[in-house]
């Protein structure tokens, strides 16, 4: 059996190099992927990405090479590359660590993408709170321009490409790619109806590749070392490594990179050191707020796209929020639901009203309302949201609600009869 | 606080800011960020919105529509320092609620309000991406965490001293 531990590929420079010195990045082989790409036909680069099996690390897991191919094959002259750096999923800070610690890796990945799909301009949409990421990226872009790695005729080729940074302004929904594009166009971040997808009509109506930071950070190594090498990492379904933020009641929290398919147990107990002395693990919220609650008997699940899907969960952002016997699941779900109610953008009714109803229903459970019908009402609300919401924000709320109710039902029932427990960290108000 | 400009004030003028931005709608958010940053009270005035609309050739309503969508923009004066406390599930699990309560006590305001001396605005945010330092907060651009309620007094004292 394969033994798993940390495997640093895209984090290999983080904490090792000075992120404000391009020389450090170059000394360690940086921009070698771009050089290799420029020596090949764009279609070959896209083919390499397709063969590598790289899947989008923003949560949806869509094959990156396929996305690039849609844009490459478009007839439109003007095309764009957009990096989604609007990292807002609770429990997720992986993209921040990459941008702060190794900004040139992202820039190189974007330039390769630009060459492969025939774009001359790229944008990095960074959430507004990430001021250090923005400063480091701005500096790195300036350095790359000075060395002819961005701008006109990169490395003496006829390929020209430049990157601009756009700062978000505090809206979780802008992490949804079409809301992000609306925001970049100077409007409120309301998701568009898809299709058309951004590959067909994206920024200002032009074909646009929208990729997550972690996805693009994988690109330079894939081009430099080849798809066959990349496929030796991870699983057949999810090749490569993944960044996993480890959080909550663990002895060691932080960001780890490991091959896709690492068992959740290894992350929680070996790399995370398990819960603090004298406490027992109660469960794990995997994938962010839009993720699934897992019980301790599910810890052997491999942490890749397909394996998590098979047990009714999702890899999402890769975040692993462990909680021990000092935590209350009702209270934790209350925090998750407050988050969604606040961040629902208000455009579509199922999500706007549904998230508010869920907060109210949970407050009833927590306050000891006594009516078990409240739990069924929560399920019904999420069922409507799953089928009728416009974007993944509303569609995904059913996952944390459904898994919490299914796996920790006893805890909900005891609140229904007894009210808040001593482990409830906040009491929600019944408003309606 | 006086709104007038002094020799010490290096903040750019509105006209100076507008000149840097091409007249296209996709410049709206960057322009609003710049205008807000230039205001010592961290907000967008009605004149700012009108100037942005005129510069980008947009209806004032379109500017207002965008501004009111994003939590980082404010239409009312805020404190010189903005405290953003994270209340994500991770921070919640590790003690965000007592931390917010301690801040409210120490500042004498509720979340969303500004202290009467105009020094601090206390805001709560959905997630700061500082989950490895939970419970966490940011003051202006600087992150802090993990923090316990007992840390709040000393943390604020630093900013109060500088202000004096």
ipTM: 0.94
Q: What is the mean pLDDT of residues A286-293?
A: 97
Q: Which residue has the tokens 């060459």?
A: A115
Instruction: For residue B88, give how far its alpha carbon lies from the nearest alpha carbon of chain A (Å).
Output: 6
> What does the alpha-carbon distance between residue B90 and residue B34 come to, in Å, rounded to a whole number?
32
Q: What is the mean pLDDT of residues A355-359?
A: 97
Per the DSSP assignment, residues forming a β-bridge with A320 are: A246, A286
> What does the alpha-carbon distance between residue B102 and residue A412 come to, in Å, rounded to a whole number?
29
**What's the pLDDT tens digit per position in A321-355?**
999 999 999 999 999 999 999 999 999 999 999 99
Cβ atoms within 10 A of the Cβ of A39, count?
Answer: 11
Kindly state the tokens that stand for A191: 């998701």
Instruction: For residue A44, give how far its alpha carbon lies from the nearest alpha carbon of chain B (Å).
Output: 33
Q: Which helix (H) or strand (E) holds A185?
A: none
Contact A367, A412 (CB under 8 A): no
Inter-chain CB proximity B126 and A131 less than 8 Å: no
Q: Which residues of chain B fall below pLDDT 50?
A: 1-5, 7
pLDDT given at position B1: 40
In sequence order, the 6+-apart residues with CB closer than 8 A to the CB of B20 are: B34
> What does the alpha-carbon distance between residue A381 and residue A393 come to, in Å, rounded to a whole number?
14
Chain B interface, best mutation among A90, A99, A293, by max B CB count within 10 A: A90
Inter-chain CB proximity A93 and B134 less than 8 Å: no
Contacts of B134 in chain A (CB under 8 A): 247, 253
> What does the alpha-carbon distance between residue A283 and residue A322 come to, in Å, rounded to a whole number?
6
**What's the pLDDT tens digit per position in A152-167?**
999 999 999 999 999 9
Name the more confident of A429 and B98. Answer: B98
Q: What is the mean pLDDT of residues A122-146?
A: 97
From the list A130, A183, A426, the residue facing B129 with the nearest CB is A130
pTM score of the predicted model: 0.96
pLDDT given at position A2: 73
Chain A interface, best mutation among B35, B44, B69, B128, by max A CB count within 10 A: B69
From the list A129, A186, A321, the residue facing B26 with the nearest CB is A186
Q: Mean pLDDT in chain A?
A: 96
Q: What letter would DSSP give residue A382?
A: H
Contacts of A248 in chain B (CB under 8 A): 90, 93-94
pLDDT given at position B2: 42
pLDDT given at position B9: 57
Kindly state the tokens that stand for A38: 């420029």
Residues 100 through 159 of chain A touching chain B, CB cutoff 8 Å: 127-132
Share of chain A above pLDDT 70, in %: 99
Task: Pick the residue from chain B with its C-alpha nearest to A345.
Answer: B69
C-alpha distance from residue A313 to each of A127, A174, A227 (Å):
27, 23, 28
Q: What is the mean pLDDT of residues A394-423?
A: 96
pLDDT given at position A369: 83
Inter-chain CB proximity A425 and B92 less than 8 Å: yes
In sequence order, the 6+-apart residues with CB closer than 8 A to the CB of A144 are: A22, A104, A107, A150
Contacts of A132 in chain B (CB under 8 A): 141
Q: Is B3 on the interface with A (CB under 8 A)?
A: no
Inter-chain CB proximity B129 and A87 less than 8 Å: yes
Task: Pick the residue from chain A with its C-alpha nearest to B139.
Answer: A129
**What's the pLDDT tens digit per position in A181-213?**
999 999 999 999 999 999 999 999 999 999 999
Does residue A431 surpass a pLDDT of 80?
Answer: no
Q: Is A243 on the interface with B (CB under 8 A)?
A: no
C-alpha distance from residue B115 to each of B76, B98, B107, B111, B157 (Å):
13, 20, 7, 11, 14
Residues 116 through 145 of chain B touching chain A, CB cutoff 8 Å: 125-132, 134, 138, 141
Inter-chain CB proximity B70 and A89 less than 8 Å: no
pLDDT given at position B5: 47
Q: Is B93 on the interface with A (CB under 8 A)?
A: yes
Nearest one of B99, B148, B105, B93 to B124, comparing CA atoms: B99
**What's the pLDDT tens digit per position in A208-260?**
999 999 999 999 999 999 999 999 999 999 999 999 999 999 999 999 999 99
Kindly state the tokens that stand for A406: 């299914």
Contacts of A342 in chain B (CB under 8 A): 126
Kindly state the tokens that stand for B134: 């939970």
């Amino acid at each position: 059996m394969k033994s798993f531990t940390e495997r640093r590929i895209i984090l290999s420079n983080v904490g090792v190099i000075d992120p404000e010195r391009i020389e450090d990045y170059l000394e360690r082989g940086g921009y070698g992927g771009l050089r290799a790409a420029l020596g090949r036909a764009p279609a070959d680069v896209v083919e390499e990405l397709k063969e590598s099996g790289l899947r989008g690390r923003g949560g949806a897991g869509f094959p990156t090479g396929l996305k690039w191919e849609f844009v490459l094959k478009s007839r439109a002259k003007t095309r764009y590359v957009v990096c989604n750096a609007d990292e807002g999923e609770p429990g997720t800070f992986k993209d921040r660590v990459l941008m702060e610690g190794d900004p040139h890796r992202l820039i190189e990945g974007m330039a390769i993408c630009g060459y492969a799909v025939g774009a001359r301009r790229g944008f990095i949409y960074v959430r507004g709170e990430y001021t250090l990421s923005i400063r480091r990226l701005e500096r790195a872009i300036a350095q790359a321009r000075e060395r002819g790695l961005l701008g006109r005729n990169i490395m003496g080729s006829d390929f020209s490409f430049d990157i601009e940074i756009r700062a978000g302004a505090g809206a979780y929904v802008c992490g949804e790619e079409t809301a992000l594009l609306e925001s970049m166009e100077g409007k409120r971040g309301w998701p568009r109806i898809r299709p058309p997808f951004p590959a067909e009509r994206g920024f200002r109506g032009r074909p646009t590749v929208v990729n997550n930071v972690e996805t693009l950070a994988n690109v330079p190594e894939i081009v430099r070392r080849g798809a066959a090498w990349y496929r030796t990492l991870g699983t057949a379904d999810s090749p490569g490594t993944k960044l996993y933020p480890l959080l909550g009641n663990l002895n060691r929290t932080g960001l780890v990179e490991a091959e896709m398919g690492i068992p959740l147990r290894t992350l929680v107990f070996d790399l995370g050191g398990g819960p603090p002395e004298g406490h027992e693990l109660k469960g794990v919220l995997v994938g962010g707020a839009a993720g699934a609650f897992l019980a301790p008997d599910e810890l052997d699940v491999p942490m890749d796209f397909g394996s998590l899907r098979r047990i009714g969960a999702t890899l999402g952002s890769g975040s692993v929020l462990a909680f021990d016997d000092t935590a209350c699941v009702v209270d934790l779900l209350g925090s998750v639901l407050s988050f969604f109610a606040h961040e629902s953008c208000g455009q579509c009714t199922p999500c706007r009203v549904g998230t508010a109803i869920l907060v109210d229903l949970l407050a009833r459970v927590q306050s000891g309302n006594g009516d078990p019908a409240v739990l069924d009402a929560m399920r019904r609300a999420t069922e409507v949201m799953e089928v009728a919401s416009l974007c993944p924000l509303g569609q995904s709320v059913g996952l944390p609600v459904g898994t919490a109710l299914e796996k920790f039902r006893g805890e909900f029932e005891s609140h229904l009869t007894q009210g808040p427990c001593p482990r409830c960290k906040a009491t929600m108000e019944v408003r309606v | 606080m006086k709104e007038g400009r002094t020799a010490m004030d290096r903040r750019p003028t509105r006209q100076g800011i507008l000149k840097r931005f091409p007249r296209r709608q996709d410049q709206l958010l960057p322009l609003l960020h710049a205008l807000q940053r230039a205001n010592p009270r961290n907000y967008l005035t009605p004149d700012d919105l009108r100037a942005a609309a005129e510069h980008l050739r947009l209806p004032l309503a379109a500017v207002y529509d965008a501004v009111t969508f994003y939590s980082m923009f404010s239409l009312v004066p805020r404190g010189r320092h903005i405290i953003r406390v994270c209340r994500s599930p991770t921070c919640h699990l590790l003690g965000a609620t007592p931390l917010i309560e301690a801040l409210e006590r120490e500042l004498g305001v509720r979340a969303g309000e500004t202290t009467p001396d105009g020094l601090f605005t206390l805001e709560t945010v959905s997630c700061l991406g500082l989950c490895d330092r939970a419970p966490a907060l940011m003051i202006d651009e600087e992150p802090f965490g993990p923090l316990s309620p007992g840390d709040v007094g000393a943390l604020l004292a630093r900013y109060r001293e500088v202000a004096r």
